[in-house]
């Protein structure tokens, strides 16, 4: 039961959850139930996808502006599909929720109705106090619902130790595990990495380009390290905002050294990384960004702000970590990676990351956790 999953509203929404599900499809029979709102004139829409032992139900319904009515509607939709799925396939041995809200509304119903084992894999940055709107300053009613949902899980898998510490404030009794996100190493790897088409040195940034990714300050720092004959190039992958586009186009230096590649699919992102020399992320807050893991699997040294759990996968041999919003440190990191590039062994960076984040490794780790509970 994913709260976020690729669908009609957004092909990239929760794609990391889809990859976790995909990684397990050769090990376990899974039924995915994804429920989200729909845009346009339609009131409902159902999509069913069958891939061998993986069955995916995607149901879309009309959004209700009243939060209470919307939650009640969602509860009844979950109840309807539980009946359909359980009648066809039987009761599940494990209910695995990916991101606790809003799918946790369905979990509360299942907790009352059936004696099922409930697992959670959590990525949500709502637990970060660096966010202006976070779980701690939400309404009293929502905090009560969050607490009820989070205490419904017997097993909680967090993508970082940092996130685990935050969730412990809401559920102290669950069996906690820390597993990073998964990377499809068929695409993100060090094979055929000599795809460079010029002698330039390419940094790459991949994100949704929202406020939290702090792209405008990446551009400020990057401009400050470029001189007249600089070979440095910065490629931006993602839906660049008008503000970002204007910041680049109205500046002679940035317009010459920065490329906006736009939104790319998963395979295209991998190819763009393979054409690059280093990866940069300067977020205000994160948990465990998939893009950092993907960059490492491609053998790219990473520059990142010290937020969330990033320091759990980054070290002196594969990265430079800077403080969030410290432009001087970011400028120095750009210069250091370029000037001391021979220090980084890209083959080893890729090998270590691929061993840790591949479908094979993460699915095995999750399957071991499943096995420990199947017969309890």
pLDDT digits (tens, 9 = 90+) for 314-346: 999 999 999 999 999 999 999 999 999 999 999
Q: Are 35 and 78 in contact (CB under 8 A)?
A: yes
- Residue 217 in any domain: the answer is yes
Cα–Cα distance between 234 and 303 in angstroms, integer?
13
- Residue 259 in any domain: the answer is yes
Judgement on whether residues 21 and 149 belong to the same structural domain of the protein: yes
First-last CA distance in the chain: 21
Lowest mean pLDDT across 4-13, 182-191, 245-254? 4-13
Given this model, what pLDDT does residue 195 score? 59
Mean pLDDT value across residues 20-47: 91
Helix (H) or strand (E) holding 48: strand 44-51
> Nearest-CA neighbor of 370 among 54, 24, 98?
24
Longest dimension (CA), the chain: 69
Given this model, what pLDDT does residue 115 score? 85
Distances (CA, A) of 306 to 236, 279, 283, 313: 21, 15, 9, 11
Given this model, what pLDDT does residue 193 score? 60
Query: What is the Cβ-side half-sphere exposure of residue 44, based on CA atoms within 13 angstroms?
Result: 6
- Model confidence pLDDT, tens digit, residues 229-249: 899 999 999 999 999 999 999
Given this model, what pLDDT does residue 282 score? 98
| DSSP track, 273-339 | HHT-SEEEE--S--SS-HHHHHHHHTT--EEEES-TTGGGT--TTTEEEE-TT-HHHHHHHHHHHHH
Judgement on whether residues 353 and 227 belong to the same structural domain of the protein: yes
Judgement on whether residues 226 and 210 belong to the same structural domain of the protein: yes
- Residue 269 in any domain: the answer is yes
The CATH number linked to 105 is: 3.40.50.2000
Cα–Cα distance between 106 and 77 in angstroms, integer?
9
How confident is the prediction for the chain on average, in pLDDT?
94
**132-160 exposure pattern, b = at least 16 Cβ within 10 A, e = fewer:** eebbeeeeeeeeebbeebbebbbbbbbbb
Judgement on whether residues 103 and 216 belong to the same structural domain of the protein: no
Q: Which residues pair with 204 in a beta bridge?
A: 235, 279
Distances (CA, A) of 27 to 93, 155, 338, 369: 14, 19, 43, 13
State yes or no: pLDDT of 259 exceeds 80. yes
Judgement on whether residues 108 and 207 belong to the same structural domain of the protein: no
Q: Which residues pair with 156 in a beta bridge?
A: 120, 176
- Model confidence pLDDT, tens digit, residues 175-229: 999 999 999 999 999 986 655 566 899 999 999 999 999 999 999 999 999 987 8
Given this model, what pLDDT does residue 172 score? 94
- Residue 191 in any domain: the answer is no
Cα–Cα distance between 351 and 268 in angstroms, integer?
21
State yes or no: pLDDT of 148 exceeds 60. yes
pTM to 2 decimals? 0.93
Judgement on whether residues 84 and 130 belong to the same structural domain of the protein: yes
- Residue 9 in any domain: the answer is no
CA 114 vs. chain centroid, Å, equals 31
Judgement on whether residues 108 and 243 belong to the same structural domain of the protein: no
Given this model, what pLDDT does residue 229 score? 85
Mean pLDDT value across residues 282-294: 96
Judgement on whether residues 331 and 366 belong to the same structural domain of the protein: no
Judgement on whether residues 156 and 212 belong to the same structural domain of the protein: no
Confidence grade of residue 10 (pLDDT, cut at 50, 70, 90): confident
- Residue 242 in any domain: the answer is yes
State yes or no: pLDDT of 42 exceeds 80. no
Given this model, what pLDDT does residue 70 score? 83
Judgement on whether residues 353 and 363 belong to the same structural domain of the protein: no
Percent of the chain whose predicted confidence (pLDDT) is above 90: 86
Strands 155-158 and 175-178: parallel
Cα–Cα distance between 102 and 99 in angstroms, integer?
8
Count of structural domains within the chain: 2
- Residue 69 in any domain: the answer is yes
Given this model, what pLDDT does residue 354 score? 97
Token readout for 60 is 């879309």
Mean pLDDT value across residues 122-151: 92
Given this model, what pLDDT does residue 196 score? 58
Domain that holds residue 38: 15-182+359-374
Judgement on whether residues 212 and 82 belong to the same structural domain of the protein: no
């Amino acid at each position: 039961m994913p709260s976020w999953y690729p669908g009609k509203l957004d092909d990239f929404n929760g794609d990391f959850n889809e990859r976790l599900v995909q990684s397990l499809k050769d090990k376990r029979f899974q039924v995915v139930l994804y429920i989200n709102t729909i845009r346009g004139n339609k009131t409902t829409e159902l999509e069913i996808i069958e891939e061998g032992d993986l069955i995916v139900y995607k149901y879309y319904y009309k959004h209700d502006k009243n939060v209470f009515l919307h939650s009640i509607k969602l509860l009844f939709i979950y109840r309807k599909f539980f009946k359909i799925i359980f009648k066809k396939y039987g009761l599940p041995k494990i209910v695995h929720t990916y991101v606790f809200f809003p799918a946790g509304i369905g979990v509360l119903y299942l907790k009352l109705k059936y004696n099922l084992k409930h697992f959670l894999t959590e990525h949500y940055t709502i637990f970060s106090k660096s966010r202006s709107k976070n779980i701690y300053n939400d309404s009293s009613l929502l905090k009560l619902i969050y607490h009820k949902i989070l205490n419904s899980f017997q097993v909680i898998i967090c993508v970082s130790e940092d996130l685990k510490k935050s969730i412990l404030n809401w559920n102290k009794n669950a069996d906690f595990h820390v597993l990073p996100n998964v990377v499809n190493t068929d695409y993100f790897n060090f094979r055929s990495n000599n795809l460079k088409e010029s002698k330039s040195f390419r940094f790459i940034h991949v994100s949704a380009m929202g406020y939290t990714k702090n792209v405008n300050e990446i551009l400020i720092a990057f401009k400050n390290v470029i001189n007249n004959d600089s070979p440095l190039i910065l490629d931006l992958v993602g839906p660049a905002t008008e503000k970002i586009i204007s910041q680049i186009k109205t500046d002679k230096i940035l317009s010459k050294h920065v490329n906006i590649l736009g939104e790319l699919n998963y395979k295209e992102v991998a190819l763009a990384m393979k054409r690059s020399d280093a990866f940069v992320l300067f977020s205000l807050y994160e948990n465990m960004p998939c893009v950092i893991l993907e960059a490492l699997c491609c053998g790219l040294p990473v520059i990142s702000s010290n937020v969330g759990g990033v320091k759990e996968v980054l070290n002196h041999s594969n990265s430079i970590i800077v403080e969030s919003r410290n432009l001087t440190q970011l400028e120095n990191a750009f210069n250091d990676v370029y000037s001391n590039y021979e220090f980084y062994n890209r083959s080893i960076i890729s090998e270590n990351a691929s061993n840790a984040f591949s479908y094979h490794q993460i699915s095995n780790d999750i399957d071991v956790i499943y096995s420990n509970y199947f017969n309890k």
